[in-house]
Structure 1
Amino acid sequence: MIKFKDKEYHCSMELTLAIIGGKWKVLILWYLGDKTIRFNELRRTLPNITQKMLTQQLRELEGYGLVKRFAYAQIPPKVEYSLTDSGKSILPILANLGQWGQNYANSEMD
């Protein structure tokens, strides 16, 4: 058992999926990569995500300490997102997952 943020998980994979699981979180982390991106730019990168869903997913990732948000005090509002060190630490794992997907697709072509 792993206890994290007042919840219990049966194994580390269950915790990992609670943090980064779902349709959008991994893609958000991947596209943020090593750069800072404004909200609308990130939304254009993920054209099938709604504004509400992107906001929700960014807030969850921010709550887990993987994404940081910086809001500028200006009109119109300007908000930028980037990865924290913890967020950046998952990038090599995501790169490996992407490579696995490419290898799998190539093996299915044979």
Structure 2
Amino acid sequence: MARSTARVTTDRPARYAKQLAAHMGRKITAEWSEETGRGTLAFGAGRAELVAEEGALLLAVDGEAENLAQLEDVVGRHLVRFGTRDELVVAWQRENGEAGTVQRLTGEEG
């Protein structure tokens, strides 16, 4: 299993994590806990963890190395779309030291 993480700076980490879990939960198993500020997304190719902390949403995806970019993209792309107003940027860092993918507004979203 390979792992990639991202720290997304935002004043509303719990709001975005809850929205992401609710949206993804229409197609996959997704959980979000207001009490703990933590959630998970279970994909066929891996899983994602969401952690809301003061000033940031921490994301982690775990999966086979060949699926990591796809997991990063799915989680990051949806989050960026929800955070259009705040211009969220998701820059992934792989546990092996490599840079992962980056999701940000491109002007094609609206």
TM-score, normalised with respect to structure 1: 0.29
Structure having greater relative contact order (Cα 8 Å, sep ≥ 6): 2
Given the two structures, how large is their TM-score scaled by the length of structure 2? 0.29
Q: Which has the higher strand share?
A: 2
- Bigger share in helix: 1
Larger radius of gyration: 1
